[in-house]
Every structure is written in structure tokens, then in C-alpha cells.
A and B are shown apart, each in its own frame.
Chain A
Amino acid sequence: MNEPKTAFDEQKIRDKFLEENQLFLSPDPAIMADHGFGPRSATEEAIFKKGMDPHLANEVRGRVLAALDESNTMIEQMGAAPGAKWGDMAAAIFTAQGDLSMIAPYGVFAFAGACHYPIKFIIKYWTNEPTVGVRDGDAFIHNDSRYGGIHNTDQSCIMPLFWKGRIIAWLSATIHEGENGSCEPGGMPAAAESKFDEGLKMSPFKFVENFKIRRDLLTFLQNSVRDPKLQSEDMKVKLHSVLRLRERVMRILEEFGEEALIGTLRKNLEDVDAEVRRRIRELPDGTTRVAVFPDSTLRENVLMKWSMAVTVKGEKMTLDMRGSSPEFLNRSINTNQASTKTLILSDYLQNIWPDLQPTSAVMAPVEILFDERSLLNGSFDVPQAMSLIPLFKAMTILTVPMAKFSYMLPHHYTAIAAPQYDQPATMIYGGLTQNNENVGNFCADINGNGQGGRNYCDGEHSLCPPFAAMCDIGEMEITEEELPMVRLGAFTLTKDRAGFGKFRGGSGYEQIVTSRRTGFWGFMTGCTGSVFTPTLGLFGGYGPPVYPLCKIRNVDIFEKLKTAPQNIKFDIIDLMNNRPVEGATYSTHDMGMTFELAKPGEVYMICQGAGGGYGDVLLRDPALVAKDLEEDLISPETARDIYKVVIDPATLVVDEAATQALRDAERRARIARGKPFDEFVKEWNTAEPPEHLPYFGSWDNPKVIYGMSGGQRVKMDSDKIVSMFMPNPKDMKIAELENELAQVRAQLAKLGV
């Protein structure tokens, strides 16, 4: 063996040694950091050199899209998971290098976008691994978001497409399955304190050989979850949907030839990339900033900063998220950079450029900057089971800065809207059904987020989730047939709980739920926004209010409805303010509730949230205010105090003159309240976050990060962030009670008792 001559040689030898002696193939940082698409392969280069006819590509694209549509329809129809039934799934096709080229028309973009990472992992690590290999008829399963993904409830089936002995594309089918054997039912355990509480953590592995599911692996997976039936059914569903897609794409290959298919898949990426760069060039150069604050780790109330500075320069856009909250070592709300980027892709496609074909290329011209070990770029070891908390925000955060960039442009690709409500406000459940089935999952209400007000009209009420269009909030009669839950408040739009504005946000609705005909049932909610407004308004519009979780416990409401129903209304405000169920315990909480067993007839209540308002409330057409009042969306107090509109309560006729006078007075009052900007800054700014505030993230300087660990405030340089360790809330409660007890004992001792 020759002696190494240079440092470069030494490095190569070291790398080779390490490559040959890897203990564990954890997620590859190089893969996770790359959200764009790679250079052309030699085959692609040759095809493009010959010339790729755009019209032939269009024809092939149409055929592939029809195949994806067919595959997606199969998932939706065959799927057993509630998510599959409501549109929470996707079928997609990738280039041979693993870059997302096309997704089914009604799929969840993020599911397909996230598969890009595990596919690249499979290519890099399993293709040449003698104990694994990638052969025709193989398929891989994956759910661990650390290897790419949204969260571990989503399971994907990934299959290589072989043609004449080589891989020319990859196919995928993904479903939000829910239950995955985590420490709480439903697959989204807020209580997870380490990744080992998260249930199944499937790095990409082969579960199908020769087009058949391996029964030993299926049994292992069934053995690891609460709902073995669901696990088995949907593994079949995903496999057969992918097989159908494979069959169709093979037909396209026979008809059009491999060059047409490979060229089309590549062309989708390059054309979209060129278009996105053109659209970025249209925007004015500059920087604009936005910050949002998730307010709970789902175990305790905190304030976590998500900082974003968006800079446009020429055809490049940079999203700088440095200065955001540090990660939490023992809380489940962390996410990783691949997940964050995938959901930002979703934001671009749903809110900014919905006309674009979803491909990896949408994000290619966008550079994203993170701090290491931050909430948004969590390390491998932190739990990420409730990554939805920051990720829901990822799907709306761009709307505010992009509105500022594009407002003055002569052409808009869609409406300019205030952010949609961006939290998963749904009941998660688990237990034994009236049909004797063990289940754990969440309700379809997650799909009913209120839309933000728009530049020309109000937002729509409970429209869709931030991650996909055309999702379903379902039918209660169908749900109740399968689950022992009873929705007392099924769908009632909230009152006075929207983002007010010239164009108000769309409202959410109340969810009042209880259970019966079961001996074992429980609920959890994994949602923030109970103490700090969850959603931003735009151009002067209000954000929506905070939403609590309310409970009526230690009572069987069904008994009360039988014996004394007169005063019970299925209305959260009435139930909580008037407390008509005698003998019950009423309580209000934040919406971060870990799994809790509920006795039959105990009542849990939350709200689906509203979108932000757009524009100044004083500019709202009084007729629209009167309409909101008539539709019971607002109270007379809101009409008068917020919108400054005077309406006759009996006739609902607007008093134009009185309204004008009230609005003029308010404008004068605003001027009176105003002060010079410098003066305001001087009064408002503080050097550090207030001592009492459990604050995480930068305050002013993005290079200095604040946090609390072990109950103590910490201050760190942004390049030396350490993970935050949170005390167990139960220990805190015990300590508090012990303290109280000690005080009482001391008082008693003083009294000589």
C-alpha cells in the first residue's frame, strides 16, 4: 500500500474506511440538505441533445397524469385509513435519480415531495448493497420522517420502474395511515419524549419482492401497531396502486419509447425550474420579514419563534430561517429540514403559484438557511412525532411576505390572501369501537381550516387543509357508524371567532364530541394557538382569536339529556358560560392535550380555526357586516366595537350616517393614539425577552438564541445551539403541590395543629 502523499489523499482514505465501516445508516445529511434536482444524467443529456419535442412531451405528460389519476383513485377507493378516504394520500412519479416529476391531480403535494429523500437514500445505499439490492419486482416501505417525510403516520410504498434491465423511474404511493404503534394511539403522540416513543420508525426497507408483500415483514409490522387490520389492508392498497401505475407507465413506454418518457420526466423539472426563476425575476429585489409563534410544546405553554426573512435578488430567492427557536430534546414538536422544506413547497403550490405543476423544481431556485439544532432543522435524535405544529405553519408562512412582494405586480397568479388557519384542530382518538375494533386515528375535521380574507373578497369558511385542495370533512352519520363517538356539535360555524378585516377570514366550526357504547375510549388534541394568536392578518387585518380546549367531565351527558335536557344547547360558549349540566366539572385548557381516557358521556370541545383578516376593519362594507350579523357569524358588539357599524337589531338595517360618524370618530382616535415611529420603538423595544416569558428563539439579533432548559433561561450563539430539555409537567405539578402542602403544614404548625 502506498503512503498517502497529500492531505486530500488522506481524506479519501478516511472516507473510504468510514464508508466501509458504517455502524448505522442514519439519514444522509447530503441528501437531506438537497431539495432541488440534480444535473441531467448521461441518458437525459443524450435525449436533450437530440431535441425533446415539447408537444410530444405534452402528450406523454397527459398519459402519465391519467395513470397517476387512476392510481390515486385506487388509493382513495381501496384505502382503509380515514386519511385515504378524505384525500390525505398521493401517487407520484420520479426520475431515475429520484427527483419528483409528477404527482396525481388530487394528491397531497408534500407526500410526493417528501418521497424524494427516501428514494435518494435507496438509490445511494441499497442499490449496490449486496444484502439488499434493487431489483424488478421490489418495493420499499418507509415512514420515518427523519429520512424524509412529514410525520411518521404517513407510510409510503416506493417502487423502482425497470425497463430493459435498468431503472428509468421511481413510483410512489403514500397514505396518512394514522395508527403506528406510538405511545399514544393515532400515530401523533404529543407525549413522546424521545424518538423511541414514536412507534414504527421505518427507514426505507424492502418489503416487497417479486411483486409480493413478504408475510414475515407484514406480520412484524402488524405486531407493532394497534390496528393490524389497517396495517395489512393499506400495505396492499399502496402496493396495488403502484403496480397499476407501473402497468400504465410500461404501456406508455411501449407506445412512445423510453426516450419520450425519460425526456418528459426531465423536461417537467427543467421547464418548471425556468418558469419559477422567471416568476422570481418579476418580483422586486429586496428583503421582507415575517415571524410566527407556535405557543405550545403540547406539554406546556411556551413561545417559539419562527423567523423568516425572504430575500429576492434576480432569479434567486432566499428564505432565511436563522434565529428561530432551538430544538427540544424531550418534546415531540420538532421537525427536520427536509420536512420543513417539503411543506414550504406545499405553501408555494397551494397559496402562491397554484397553477404550477408540482415538481421538485419549484423549490430549486430557492435557497433555505437554517440554524443547526433548531426547531425547524432538528437533529436526528429529537422526537418529531408532532412535527405538524411547525409544519402547518410552514404551509402558510409565505403568504405574508409573498403578498408584499407581489402586490404591486400587474399580473397575479392567484388571489392575494391572508394566511389560512394553520393548525391541526381536530380530535385524535383511540380505543375500542362499538364494533369491537381497536382503532387510533384522527377526525376529518383537520381538513376544514378557514381561509384568509382576500384582496377582493372574504375568505371562505372551513375550506380545506393547508396541505391540499379538495379534501373532505366527512359526514357524521358515517363516522358514528364506525366509531363510538357522538358529535353533539357537528358543524356549527363559530361566532366572533374570525380574523376581522376589510375582507374577513373564513370561520371555522365547533366540534363538540362525546362517546358511548364503548368501554375503552380516549381523546387527545395536538394543536397550538390557545394563548397566542395562531394566524396572521394581512395589510391591517386582524388575526383570529386564540382557541381553547373545553371539557365537561365527571358526568354522563346522555343521562342529563334524558332527564333534564331543557337548557342544554350544543354550543361551546353557552355550555361553558351557563354550565347547564348540573354536577359536572367544567374546565378550559390549551389545545395541547396528551391522550386521556374519557368516560362515556364526558364532553370535549374544540374549534376549527379561522383565517386571518385582510385590510382595515373600518373599510369593510357595512352591508357585509350586516350580512355577517344576520348569519350569526358576529355579535352586535363586534359589529359596533370592531367594525364601527351601527345596525338596527330588529331590522338589521345599517344606519349609514351613524356608521360614518362612528368610523370618523375611530379614525380620529387612532390619530390621537398614534406616535412617531422612533418614539414607539424606544418605548416598545427591550434588550431581551421578558424574564417571565418561556421564550425560544432570537429576540432581535438572529445570532443570539434564547431558550429555557431544565427550567432555566439560556442564551446561546446561533452556531452553538444546544437542545432544550423540558421538565416533566407532572413533576412540576408535584413540586408545586408539595410546596403548597409544605406551606399549609407550616401554617398549621404555626397554629399549633
Chain B
Amino acid sequence: MLFRKMLRTVIRYKAQFFSMIIMIAIGTGMFLGFNMEWLSLEKDTKAFFKETNFADYRITSKDSFSKKDADKINSITGVDRTARYISVNADVKGTENMVGLTVTENPNVSGFVVTDGEAYDENSKDGIWLSDKYAENNNVHTGDEMTLTYDKLTITGKVKGLIKSGEYMICVRDESQLMPDFKLYGYAYITPKALQQSIDNMAKDEAEKNIRTDIPKTMRDDIVKETTQKIADETYQNVWHQINVISSLSKAEFTKQVEKVLDRTLLILTKDENISYSESQGEVNEGKTMGSVLPTLFLLIAVLTMVSTMHRLVANEKTQIGTLKALGFKDRRILWHYTTFALSIGIFGSVLGAVLGYFVAWFIMNPDGMMGTYIVMTDWTIQFEWWCWAVLTGIVLFLTFIGFLSTRKMLQGTASDVLKPYTPKNIRQLAIEKLSFVNHLSFGTKWNLRDILRHQSRSFMTLFGVMGCTLLIVAGLGMNDTVGKFMDMYYTDIANYSSKVQISDDAENKDALNIAEKYNGDCLASVSVQYEDNPISLDIYKMKYDTVHFLNENNDRILLPDDGALVCMRLKDEYHLNIGDEIELSPYGTSEKYIVKIKGFNRSLSKSISVSEEYAQTLRSTLKVLTYTSVYKINTVFTKTEKSKINDSFVLSVQSKEDIMKSMDSFMEIMNLFVVILIISAVILGIIVLYNLGIMSFTERYREMATLKVIGFNDRKIGNLLISQNIWLSVLGILIGIPTAYGTLALLIKMLAGEYEMSCYISLLSLLISTVLTLSVSLAVGLIIARKSRKIDMVSALKIPE
């Protein structure tokens, strides 16, 4: 019979019952969803890296590595596998596209998985294993012929297989490209034999081109053959500038061992310094941050509202609890009866939350979803770990415990005590009310003010709900504003160029300078230097045409000084640097050390120190630097000339500002989706919290409203009283929510996108939208509840004893 009573209690409080379930489902769903997202990303990427034999270390050198070097490294204890490795950006003939042309001497290091076509065959001389995403976006199929060109090399082959590779899990051309664009850029693996073949062809062409025509044919053939062999051998031996290694050694130990066996200092990059690894793990960490901030707020709002609602619900049932007690039901049975109410809300809410969480995680983490536009891998399993179960169980237990405590509180005392209806605490005059202006407030204002003070937990929850709703909307829109402003700032204020020209590796500085002169461009030489054991980029600019600007932390333009360096904000924060400090930098591959004086700090996409060429030259002349050209080589030219007008033999590639912006668009799309999810969830949660608490407020003030109605207040006046309380709390919630959102956003930006050195920014429009949206939610809910005042049954309401 008690079970039947419980079902009827559920029906009686159906609005609260279902809203609590939805609230718990949204809170749990958002929390689990965002946390399952990073968990899945972490596990799935880890599995993919393992599956494709992702390298732990990348050793690079200006001088090519010999086979012997690779063998020496392979012989180090703790080194599992090594492979000489090439990865260069090659043009796809007949298109404007590029692919990362990749060769690995050992397919068990930095390899790939074939998703379609033939398996990798190391003896193939014409096989190309192409990125499946690139193939899909460019309508390339297995069996199709494809020609790739890099410098003087031409590689023509057949697409034998479509693949996915851990090395290109995040397939971007360089650091300036934020998001992959598979239409324009992919990757392709060829075998060392295919590389040898194309080198042979190139060598033959070179030999034939340079042979004197007055030599007899037979002799000429011999010379060509001999020269071809010589060029081919030299070229083949000089293309291996990288060795990839799978090893369990620590970086310090590995570096020590490698430098010992090769007897030279080398630039050794861990997997953390590889874009695919660092960015994907960055996504995981961002996911962890996201999962621990905003979704936790969702969960907190849901659970706290549930606590408040459950208490009120049991309080409303106090007379019934007393009746059961008076009838002779034991406390334990009554406790269980009402606790099951909370238990069932917990179970239904958590189960729905788990389902919602799965979909939220899936929405982000699926090959065609948000993450799929960024990361390419084989397995997209949504992971659900023990702690997800623990969260679900914890929520159910917590809610049950809340139900238990609320009921136990009502059960205290004798049956006759419990039979008396629950009355909230008596109100007393507050000190503030002694102020004269309080006496001039309208009756409605005083009524609402005291009601807020009388029902503090309900009022606090309403305030908290509105604040949370505002915070989520403002933070969501603010995130969009911040990224938008950052991009705008970066590509309007910083990048004053139209095209970014990559200079080919075989060009000398004079060639690069010629290109710069030809296209009125400024030069950049990026040198990998070591600072405090970490690799950073020393960017040396030769500026003449004002194509690159520098912004300080207030986003004001500053000039690149001639007597010191500009250090990026991240390095400033990480190493607590100050203007006037001197820092020591050492280029990789050399034992030279430079002392650089800090003259200012700037916002930069990469972890870098920027200096002018003039200043770089003073470093050379005043410090223990041996050679100038061995230290840096111009690799980029920025120019205001349009991409289509740039053509030079030493140009490796040209990216227009629009190309770069396009990749930003995809980034923005993901961000927009995320913001939409956040706003929709916030609005739903806001509606439910406000409705739930509004209904509670309505129920608690039912008798008072009935009295007002009897006295002669009409429905509109009573409705206005109800709405005005909602509006007050909403305005207060918004006023608290906006600065809180600003703080939360600043924290999120710092944790999520520290590498971009963004400054937190919320536009006036976003604040307006957030305010209007939150107030609209509040007003809409207030109107729905106010409509209920029409149905107040004055006769029966006033018969209820006080």
C-alpha cells in the first residue's frame, strides 16, 4: 500500500519529480559527457599511437645521419627500435595541394595502419600509401597514379593503400595552421626504395643536364652513369636528417647516451614536442580542465537544487508523515518510504545522465564530429571508466542520503509534533528595516524581500541557479569572443602581410634575401634554441616593409627593438622574466651560447623570442659566437604580394593569409558548436532550476496569495508579485554571474589556450545577449508560474490551519 502511496506522491509532485530527474540527468550528463570525452580521447589516442608505433624521440641534425648512426643508437640499452626518417612537405602535381612526404626505414617506427588497399611493402618502388582523409577529400582512390614533387625530386607512383598514421594524427602543415584541411594538405608514405628510385631519376636528369655535348656518346653514357651514381649516392646519404626512436629511457638519459655514441650535441625532441602528440594530449588536458570546471558547476547546481527541492517536498508531506507515524508505522519504514522517492530520482536521473553523457561525449568524439575534424585515428570508442560508475553511484547515494536526512528531520518528535504542518522559521525585523527608506518601500517589495529572507535556502538556490546560468552563457559566448578577438588581433594587427613564403632548404640566405627584395618582403629565420633545457624558437627578423607587427600584453603595438629581444608572454610567465633580464640561449647542434637582453614582452603563437637582425648581429660580434650563417638561415619571407604572383625556384610553398584564416574557421566552428551546447544546456538547466524553485515558492506562498486574493488583489497583481521576486533574484544573479563568468573564463582561457596567449575578452553584445537570455528565461518561467495564481482555490486554501 505504501508503494501505491509513493506512486501517487510522484503523481502529485510530478512537476518537481520530473524536473529533478531532468536536472540530475543534465548535471550528470554534462559532467560525465565532458569527462568521458577526454578519457576517450586519452585512451583512444594512446591505443592509436601504440598501433602505429609512434616514436618516443626524434633526433634531428643539420648533417645527415648515416645507417651506422642509426645502428649505434639502436644498440643503446633501453632503445627498442630506431628508423631513419624523412618528413618533408611535397607538392602534389596538378593541384595546389601539399602532402607530408614521409619515408621511414623501419615501418615499425612511426608507421601507419592501412584502412583500404594493400599492406605496406618495403620492396615497392612505386607504391604510395596515402592519407585516407586526403584521398576522400580529393577523390583519390587506390590504384590512382599520383606525382609528388619536392625540390628537384619527382616521385611518381600508384596509390596502393589508404592509411592513418600516428605521426600525422593532427595533420597540419606547420604551427601556423591551427586546424587540418584535408582538401589542401595530407600525407603520403613511400618506401626507402621508392625514394632511392626517385633520387636515381633526379640524379640521372642532373647528370644528363650537365654533361658536355661535345663528348662522344659512348663516353658520355659512361660519364652520365658514373655521375648519376655519384649524385644519387650523395643525395641519398644526405637526406636523412632525422632518426625516430622507440625507447623507454628518460630524456636526460637518452640524450646522454645518444650524444655519447654519436659524439656530438643534437636536437632531441620528445614525443611531447610533436604536434600530433602534444596537441592531442593538450586536448586531453583541456578536456580535463573543461570537465572539472563548467560541467562540475552544472552538477553542483543540479545537486544543490535537488537538496533544496527534496527538503521542501518532504516538508510539504509532514502532516502525512505524522499521520503514518500516528497510525503506528515505524520510523524506519516511513524513512524508507520517503527515501525511495529520492532514490528513484537518483536512479532515473543518473541513468538518463549516463545516456546523455554518452551522447555528449559522442557528439564531440566521433570521426565525423567535432574532434574528427581535428584528429584522425582508427578507434573512436567512448570510454566509460570505473570512476564514471563511481560518480553515478555517488550521486544516487548522495541524493538518497539527502532524502533520508530530510525525512528524518521531519520525523523528529512525537507523532503529535510531526502531525503539525511544517512552518518555516519565524521572521524578525532586520536592522536594515529600521532605516527610514525601508518604510517607504511598497508592500510587494517588502513582502518579496522578507520572503527571500524567510526562505533563504530556496532564494539562495534561485540566485545560484541564475548565477550559474549566466556564468555558463557568458563564459560560452566570452570564449567565442576571446578566440574571435585573438584571431582578429593576430591576423589584422600582427600579420600585416598577404602571403607567407616558405623558402626551400637548398636556398642560401642570399637567395632568400633576393626573394624578399623581389616581393618587397621581410625575412624571418627561426632557430631552434635551448633555454633552460627546453627547446624554443629564436625568431630573427629582417624588417623593412612592416609586414609583421608585435603586440604587447595590452594588445598595443610595439616595435621590435634593436638593442634587445621581445619574449613571448608564455615564457615570461613560465620563467618569471622581467624587462632588463639577460637570458642565455644555445642553438641546437652547437655549443655556442648567446646572452640576450629582454626589452619587452609580446603576444605570440609560438613559444618564441623575437629579435631584429641588427640585434642578432651585435650578439655575433660581441659574444662567443663563431659563425653567422651556421647559426641561422632565413626560412620564411612575409610579403604583401598576393600568393598567385609569387613564383621562384627557391620558394618551397606559399600560404596566403586567407589560407591560414580558413583553417581558423574550422577552429571557430568547433568553438561555436561547443558554445551552442553550453548555452542550450545552461538555458535548459536555468529553466528547470527556476521553474522548480518557482513552483516551490508558489506552493509555499499559496496561502498568502489566497489571502491576497480574498482581500481583493487581482490575478495580475499577484502574478506581478511573483514575477518581481524572480526578476530581483535574476538581476542579482546576473550581477554576480557576470564577474564570476569573467574570472572563470580567464581561468579557462589560461588553462585551455595558454599556448595562444589570448587575453580574456567578453564583448558588450555577449553581455547583453547573456543578460537578455537569462532575464527572458527568468521572466518566461515567472509568467508560467504567475499564471497559476489564477487557479488559486481561495476557499480551500484558507481553510488549512496555520
Q: Tell whether A pairs with B.
A: no
Which residues of B pack against A, CB within 8 Å? Answer: none
Identify the A interface with B (CB < 8 A). none
